[in-house]
Chain A
């Protein structure tokens, strides 16, 4: 154990970890405090309705683990995929002048690959809703 600690010290200055430690303490403390406070202060009404799962106000019925059409997943996952890729345009938008034509070509290539993927899933019929 002592060896472990020594190792730590030799790697870097322990001071650099101080902010991290403070933040960890702060986060843990805050969460504990909040949970504690809501527990103490909040009113408690225990009814059968409250123990039911909440689904946008609609009354839930049946088993949640039912087979569902794969199309929902597929559409959802494709959405997430394209959504995430779009995020890369934000940093580019900020510095596109500095990057110049090389940067433009790189982004063009990125979009090109993207487009290939898009055409591929279209051709494969992944977004076709009716069978």
Chain B
């Protein structure tokens, strides 16, 4: 609750700071400080210090899972701002508004990570989506950005329609929005099942799972790269948390009904994401497909839906977000987004190349990185269900395919000659990258550092 209220207030503060303050750096510093505060109050709440006592009438519940997830989100956003705040400012004239929208999105993230009622879920999803439509189109002069924004809006509206229809059907059959109530339904009828499947579709859309992924490459490619980074990481993992909470808490007893669909969606997502990424020429577009592929892996936790899966998803969201934010931060600095643009980076910017390599290794799931451990948890959780082992084998195979396109970047950086055009980077940027890379390796060796928070 602390973080929810603070992030809303911070959003308003950012709004006014754009009007009142004339200096860009002041606005940026307020945003970074605000995010740090957000992280602090959230940690305080985790250790039992809640500043507000508000009766949410059972619509929200801040448990350890959601609080820890929020910590991960705030930390990732904090790192994201440290790395890319200057690039956010460069996108357009309304620099303070971009930060405002990011804080409002965080509000939505908090809602979807702690909802107990379908209403709050819907509100949260919309609070996340609408600012994103704006951010996607924030590069007003760029036709691609505008196109992406419109596409995102149209398709997003379509999925919102599906979600509302689903919620309406469920309300019609259960008579309640409360997830606990829905889960207690003894004999689910066709209405309920249909509603659940509609929710499954719309959530699949939000996490860009196949065959609802079509918007992802176009939007990620068209949006300004700084915001692609935000969308592909923080927003995506938030949608996953909503997904796993919804299907765990509201439809947990219906698992036999939806498990096969999730399994099929997972397989399709892994297949389409990984296979299509192979053929891309632009690193940015490759990362868009890679985010689909990684979503496929995260879907395994949904498929498994056991204790391992929840832990694994937390770990996965941290590992995936941090690594992807790092890669995007480097990508933004490049002049040329194709694979060839990375040629010879190791020679001119050894530090950038080395940290990017660690991020890529983590995404590819090479041991001693956080990416490996989180993939391991996912597969472990899926194996523990004891059914559909083909899915696990398929996932492992697809992970092997992913090595190909991640290593293409490493190969370009280290094994090819070239002169990458790169914008100069500040020391803070470099230090943050190094810390990020170190974190990924530390998490890869001591994953319990993160997961212990879940228990005590």
Residues of A within 8 A of B (CB): 3-4, 6-8, 10-12, 113, 116, 119-120, 123-124
Q: Which residue of B lies closest to A122 (CB)?
A: B19
Pairwise interchain contact A7-B191, C-beta atoms closer than 8 A: yes
Known A11-B173, A11-B189, A120-B19; further 6 A-B contacts with Cβ < 8 A: A6-B190, A7-B189, A11-B172, A116-B15, A119-B16, A120-B15
Number of residues in B with C-beta < 8 Å to the partner? Answer: 12
- Asked if B192 CB lies within 8 Å of chain A CBs, one says yes
Cβ contact within 8 Å between B19 and A124 = yes
B: residues with CB less than 8 A from A are 12, 15-16, 19, 172-173, 187, 189-193
Please indicate which of the listed interface residues B172, B187, B190, B193 has the most CB atoms of chain A within 10 Å of its own CB. B190
CB–CB B191/A11 < 8 A: yes
Contact (A3, B190) CB under 8 Å given A116-B12, A120-B19, A124-B19: yes
A4, B190: Cβ atoms closer than 8 Å = yes
A1–B227 Cα gap in the complex (Å)? 46
Nearest-Cβ distance from residue B18 to partner chain A, whole angstroms: 9
Q: How far is the CA of A11 from the CA of B186 in the complex (A)?
A: 10
Nearest-neighbour CB distance to chain B for A20, whole angstroms, equals 11
Residues of chain A lying within 8 A (CB to CB) of residue B19 = 120, 123-124
Known contacts A10-B187, A11-B173, A12-B173, A120 near B16 by CB under 8 Å: yes
Decide if the interface of chain B is mainly helix, strand, loop or mixed.
helix
Which residues of B have CB within 8 Å of A8?
189-191
Give the Cβ gap from B133 to chain A, nearest Cβ, in Å: 15
Taking a contact as CB atoms under 8 Å apart, the answer to whether A7 and B15 are in contact is: no
Residues of A contacting B12 in the complex (Cβ-Cβ under 8 angstroms) = 113, 116
A116 contact set on B, CB distance < 8 A: 12, 15-16
Complex CA distance for A10 and B15, rounded to whole angstroms = 52
In the complex, 6 of the A-B residue pairs with CB atoms within 8 angstroms, ordered by the A residue number, are A3-B190, A10-B187, A11-B191, A116-B15, A120-B15, A123-B19
Q: Measured between alpha carbons, how far is A123 from B12 in the docked complex, in Å?
A: 14
Q: Is the contact region of chain A dominated by helix, strand, or loop, or is it mixed?
A: helix
Chain A residue at minimum C-beta to C-beta distance from B173: A11
Q: Using Cβ atoms and an 8 Å threshold, which residues of chain A touch B16?
A: 116, 119-120, 123
Residues of A within 8 A of B172 (CB): 11
Instruction: Tell me, rounded to whole Å, the shortest Cβ–Cβ distance linking A88 to chain B.
Output: 16
Considering the complex, give the chain B residue whose CB is closest to the CB of A9: B189
Q: With both chains docked as a complex, state the minimum distance between the C-beta of B166 and any C-beta of chain A, in angstroms.
A: 15
Please report the C-alpha to C-alpha distance between residue A11 and residue B169 in the assembled complex, in whole angstroms: 11
- A4 CB contacts on chain B under 8 angstroms: 190
CB distance from A11 to the nearest CB of B (A): 4
Contacting residues, chain B, for A6 (C-beta < 8 A): 190
In the assembled complex, the Cα of A7 lies from the Cα of B173 at a distance in Å of 10
A119 (CB) vs chain B CBs: closest residue: B16
Assembly CA distance A4 to B16 (angstroms): 54
How far does the alpha carbon of A124 sit from the alpha carbon of B172 in the complex, in Å? 44
Please indicate the chain A residues that have their CB under 8 angstroms from the CB of B15 in the complex: 116, 120
Interchain CA distance A124-B12 in the complex, whole Å: 14
Considering the chains assembled together, what is the distance between the CA atoms of A10 and B188 in angstroms?
Answer: 8
Query: Which of chain A's residues has its CB closest to B187's CB?
Result: A10
Nearest A residue to B185 via CB reads: A11
**A7 — which chain B residues lie within 8 A by C-beta?**
189-191, 193
Instruction: Report the separation of the CA atoms of residues A7 and B192 in the bound assembly, to the nearest whole angstrom.
Output: 9
CA separation between A123 and B16, bound complex, in Å? 9
- The residues of A that contact B189 with a CB separation of less than 8 Å are 7-8, 10-11
Bound: A69/B408 CA distance, A = 49
- Which residue from chain A places its CB closest to the CB of B174 in the assembled complex? A11
Chain A residues with CB below 8 A from B190, complex form: 3-4, 6-8, 11
Question: Closest residue of chain B to A11, judged by CB?
Answer: B189
**Distance in angstroms between the alpha carbons of A56 and B12 in the assembled complex:** 43
Which of A7, A8, A119, A124 has the most chain B CB within a 10 Å cutoff? A7
